[in-house]
Chain A
Amino acid sequence: MRREYAANGKPVLRFASGLQIRVGNLWAGIGFMSAAILLAALSAGLGVTDAGILDLLNGFTGTDADDARAYALWTVRLPRIVMGFMAGCAVALAGAMLQSIARNPLADPGLFGLSQGSMTMIMLLFVLAPAAPKAMIALAAMAGGLGVAMLLIWLVGSERSSGLAILLMGIAIESVLSSVGSLLILYMPTETSLALSEWMAGSLFKANWSTIATFAPLMVLSIVGIFLTGRALSAYDLGNEMAMALGEPVGRSRPVILVFAVLLSTAAVTAVGPLTFLGVLAPHLAGFVSPAVSRARLFLSALMGGILVIAADALTRGLVGDVPLPIGLSLTIIGVPLFILALRLQALRKMQTH
């Protein structure tokens, strides 16, 4: 491992295998991870029961906390934090991947209709078989998302079509599916549509260790995916023709990346509900803190996504009084000001350099 300078003058770490990491990205990654751990520790102390991270540490050293504290930490708070982090990572990752293949910073599982595909399927299941088991819901969501992805691939067609085509087609499908969703909500019996809208606002209420156990293999898979597709994505960032010129088999790798993004986003939708805008928000914020390409970009985006959801959950649970605040809303409350700030600062930075 050697410390060298890249062509643009930035310090990088080069490994013997040829892998190189920008030092700036490495620091950002470490920073994000510490932020996530810090936020998680803070969030573990929020709630009605007087318990916190110290009780958790005591638990590891053998001193048992009383029942109420153990319940609050192990059954309520930790699953929410872990689940939130994983769902945030998944959505942010899906967003970052889609942005590369669409070559558009606005791309997001929501904008492509992938989330809507899963949501419509889940809604239909809600209506037709309200008592369906969890696995069935997950499968339906997956089928919905994949269905939309297949439709997209089929509609967009050959490898010659541009990123813009896939984005526009995605928006078209998304609009159709959203209207189906609104229609369902409007014509459902009141109680069912209330349950639906509750779920659509997003909630970590159902987070528990068994859901996490189902979700965890997907997380591992996504890390593997980052390694496999990360390089290809940096070629996509340069445009389809350039990617092909660089030897990227666009016709084959684009569907693979799309399917991968579907898996990630549907898993998150099933577990937590739609986390609107997170797919755009997290990669942008990560890119603002530390500009990165290919694998580093995916890693940093995923971490940022996780951090944002942990923070949103902390806000939801930390609010005093009886103010209901769904996770989707608290995510917006936290994320959007940061987003605007980042964009403004970026604009200012550009003005100064030009």
Chain B
Amino acid sequence: MRLSILLAALVAANAALAGERAVTDDAGRAVTIPDRPERIVVMHEPLLGLPLMDLGVELVGSYGRTDDGEFVTAVDFMDTVLDTDLAKPKGIGPFGQIDLERLRALEPDLIIGTDLNIDKVEQLSTVAPVYLQNVSTGKAYGFSVEEDLAKVVGREDTFIKRKAAYLDRVAEVRKALPSDPAGQDYLAVFLTDQLNAVGETSGAIQALEDLGYSRLEPEHEGGAAGRGGSMMLVPLSVEAFGRLNPDLLVLMNSYMNDAREEAGTRAALDRIMPGWEKFLKPAKEDRILFLDSAKVTTPTVASAEHTLDAVEAWAKR
């Protein structure tokens, strides 16, 4: 008996010394990852990298950055969402062309990919263990990605503190609102060259719903896009949009566009739906909240807080 306890203790000590643990990722794969990974590479920066950096984790690499750490698309979310002095991660090759040698040169101890990276797992695993995290609408909600990743990298405590502070702020902002949002519905629209309903995986949605607003489900017209369930944005037809009358209309211009403030967003919607200010009910009754998509769309607590700030400023107008 004693011997078996001793053996069990020894085995446990061994596992602890090795500093590794076996986990099952969102794709159902068993992966052995370091207890507290130090050198992480992410395969999608806004959806996976930002939540980690929001927890204070420094990344060594990120798909979509150049070797100098510059972000290849229009917005560097690290600058717009986070107030951090973390170093910029390095790139692992141009988009569509992951360079395994560059990836290995970064000496990662964990690679985190999205559920859509499953076809790349075999090759990426030759460098370091790969953990796949669900980010698609329907599988992730609000900043749940940050909560999940906190467990993966052993930073649950940081997340709990972060969330508690956030919830205090939610209560504070709710008090500042002229009327109780409970029972009111909202529609969040993201403007590209068309109208899109914002998917559930973003800090903005988390904040709005935590305040008490409920989602107004635009009716899908049975398009395949509605059923895929894996996108950030669901196209919304102009006619359908014109008929909707949410208690709160949330508008944000695409982050590929520099004019993301109120005037720019109004102009962008005017191009898609000329004269909307004159006939759209929420516009006539001044029930529109303008958000900066570069700040609020990542699945992070920081994005949710940016949304709260915007709601508070709007309420105080």
Contacts and interface: CB of A to CB of B under 8 A. Distances in A.
Contacts of B116: 130, 191-192, 195
Interface of A: 47-49, 68, 71-72, 75-76, 130-131, 187-192, 195, 198, 201, 203, 205-206, 208, 316-317, 322-326
A48 B90 CA distance: 14
Interface string B25-66: 001000000000000000000000000000000000000001
A131 B118 contact: yes
A187 B224 contact: yes
- Among B98, B119, B122, B223, the one with the most A-chain Cβ atoms within 10 Å of its Cβ is B119
Given A187-B224, A322-B91, A76 B97 contact: no
Nearest to B231: A189
Contacts of A131: 27, 118
Contact of A326 (B97, B98, B233): B97
B120 interface: yes
Contacts of B225: 187-189
A201 B97 CA distance: 11
Interface of A is mostly: loop
27 contacts: A48-B99, A48-B105, A49-B104, A71-B126, A75-B100, A130-B118, A131-B27, A188-B224, A190-B231, A190-B232, A190-B233, A191-B136, A191-B230, A191-B231, A192-B116, A192-B228, A198-B96, A205-B97, A205-B98, A205-B123, A206-B120, A206-B123, A322-B72, A322-B93, A322-B94, A324-B95, A326-B97
Given A131-B118, A322-B67, A203 B228 contact: no
A206 B122 contact: yes
A324 B101 contact: no
Given A130-B116, A322-B93, 10 more contacts: A75-B126, A189-B229, A191-B116, A192-B228, A206-B122, A316-B97, A322-B67, A322-B91, A323-B94, A326-B97
A310 to B, nearest CB: 17
A203 B97 contact: yes
Q: 8 nearest interchain CB pairs?
A: A189-B228, A324-B94, A187-B224, A189-B231, A322-B94, A48-B101, A189-B230, A322-B66
A179 to B, nearest CB: 15
Contacts of A48: 99, 101-102, 105
Interface residues of B, number: 34
B97 A325 contact: yes
A203 B232 contact: no
A91 B126 CA distance: 29
Contacts, number: 80
Contacts of B27: 131
B228 A205 contact: no
A192 B224 CA distance: 12
A42 B113 CA distance: 33
Interface string B131-159: 00000100000000000000000000000
A197 to B, nearest CB: 9
Nearest to B234: A189
Contacts of A190: 231-233
Interface string B216-238: 00000001110011111100000
A326 B94 CA distance: 10
A324 B97 contact: yes
A180 B272 CA distance: 29
A51 to B, nearest CB: 9
A187 B223 contact: yes
Contacts of B105: 48-49, 68
B152 to A, nearest CB: 20
A325 B27 CA distance: 30
B83 to A, nearest CB: 28
A203 B96 contact: yes
A156 to B, nearest CB: 34
B104 A68 contact: yes
A203 to B, nearest CB: 7
Contacts of B100: 75-76, 205
Interface in B145-199: none
A208 B120 CA distance: 12
A321 to B, nearest CB: 8
Most buried by A among B96, B116, B232, B233: B96
A74 to B, nearest CB: 10
